[in-house]
Amino acid sequence: MEFIFVTGPSAVGKSTLSRGLCGKLGGVLIEQNMVPEFTVPPYVSDEGAYEEKVCWGNVLCQIEYFHNTGFRNIIVNDFDDLRVRELPVLFKGHRFIVIRLCSSDPEQIKVQMIHRAKNEGGLYAPEGVGRLNALISSRPLMPNEVKLDIAGKTAEQVLGEAMDLLEGFEPELDYDYMPGDQRYYHSWVHSRGLNWEWTAK
């Protein structure tokens, strides 16, 4: 596989699965929180939108560089959920998969969020994550997207299921696609229409 995108609500286990996949498959793991620290220029009026745009552009530059250098199994996560709807546009013609993690048991994600907050730090919103999980779970599948329910499963079981999905998955290279309704995507920035172009060799 050229690209593996791991998406889903906060505390669903995206980073854990991504690290497991990288250990099994090799390749490279790119997380948006790996972007270097930078200062927002004083003339910027919408700091959140600017930071998200810079981070997303940086991630795409890394993806492009690793791909053009010959890397495969490029695993990417931790980007703004609204960007998920752009993936079939940006990566059409390439062998990619989007693994959407969600849970039919929203209480499990709340427990995982509480555990993460106590042990690793990060976003803490145990009530909001239930609504976010419901929103992300409900949206239609995009081209080359699969949904993996984590309910009642250990991290090892989720990794095993993801590996099984990858083994039998044949991505579509040509398809008709229009980005889905923004109401099904959660974003921490208010601005929309932030796009980036890149060319994979």
DSSP letter (8 states) at residue 140: P
Other CB atoms within 10 A of residue 88 CB: 21
Paired tokens of 160: 């095993």
Interval 65-72 mean pLDDT = 97
Pick 7 or 107 by higher pLDDT.
7
DSSP letter (8 states) at residue 38: -
Band of residue 182 on the pLDDT scale cut at 50, 70, 90: confident
Q: Which pLDDT tens digit goes with each residue over 114-159?
A: 766 666 655 556 666 778 888 888 999 999 999 999 999 999 999 9
Pick from 25-34, 104-113, 154-163, 192-201 the range whose average pLDDT is largest: 154-163
- pLDDT of 111 reads 77
Q: Which residue has the tokens 């989007």?
A: 98
Full-model pTM? 0.89
Question: What is the C-alpha separation between 31 and 22, in angstroms, rounded?
Answer: 12
Answer CATH for 3-175 from 1.10.10.60, 4.10.410.60, 3.40.50.300, 3.30.950.10:
3.40.50.300
